[in-house]
Structure 1
Amino acid sequence: MAELLRTHSSQELTEWIAYERVTGPLGPERHDVLNAILAATVSNAARGKGQKPKGPADFIPKWDQDAGQDWQQMLATAKAMNRRMGGDDRTRQEAGHGAA
């Protein structure tokens, strides 16, 4: 973690977080599906009598949940993530408005 913070700016990390929130986890594309299959298998093996079995789709995260946001909401989310990571807000401010 220390090396990551030394070699990457807050802005770059914030961009990767935003990208991952839209597209799903970084790395091999099918890991979420493979893990969902495993989770469904374990869940169904441990379910009680009379409980409905679950399929892999029940365990796949719902990516791109914020797709309905307008650009102002997305910008506010990105700025909040940037603040949490100790980054500087270098966006231009509209006349009469403070930073979000």
Structure 2
Amino acid sequence: MRHLLADMGAAELAEWRAYEEITGPLGGARGDINAATITRAIVAVNRGKNHKVPPLADFLPRWDRTRVRKNPEDLFKAALAANTALGGQVITNN
């Protein structure tokens, strides 16, 4: 973690944190699909004769469960708040 913080500023870390809140863990999508595929296969071989196999989507986690979609401005404000909380500075090119 120290190496990561030495190479990445608070602003960039806050941006990644905001991105991850929307999309789920970085790199986790493939693992989620693999786990869902295996789970679906287990359900398929253990289901009753008259039961359909649920779609793969039923086994995938939904990371963004907010009922209200945030607009870009709100996401930017959240990233700025995380940046501030991590001791970062906002640098603008004027």
TM-based fold match above 0.5: yes
Where does structure 1 lack aligned partners over 5 or more consecutive residues?
Answer: 45-52, 93-100
Distance 1:91 1:70, change over 3 A: farther
Q: Give the secondary-structure state (helix, strand or coil) at the position aligned to 1:30.
A: helix
TM-score, normalisation: structure 2: 0.56
Preserved contact between residue 11 and residue 82 of structure 1 (Cα < 8 Å)? yes
Q: Which has the higher contact order (CA 8 A, sep 6+)?
A: 2
- Cross-structure match for 1:74: 75
* Residues matched between the structures, number: 88
How many percent identity over aligned positions? 34
- Cross-structure match for 2:5: 5
Shift of 1:10: 0.9
1:32-72 per-position Cα deviation (integer Å, ceiling 9, x unaligned): 11122345667x6xxxxxxxx97653442224445721233
Report the Cα distance in structure 2 between the residues aligned to 1:69 and 1:20, rounded to whole angstroms.
14
Indicate the RMSD between aligned Cα atoms, in angstroms: 3.9
Where does structure 2 lack aligned partners over 5 or more consecutive residues?
Answer: 44-52
Q: Give the letter aligned to residue 88 of structure 1.
A: G
Shift of 1:11: 1.0
Kindly indicate whether residue 53 of structure 2 is the aligned counterpart of residue 27 of structure 1. no
Preserved contact between residue 11 and residue 80 of structure 2 (Cα < 8 Å)? no
1 or 2, which has the higher helix percentage? 2
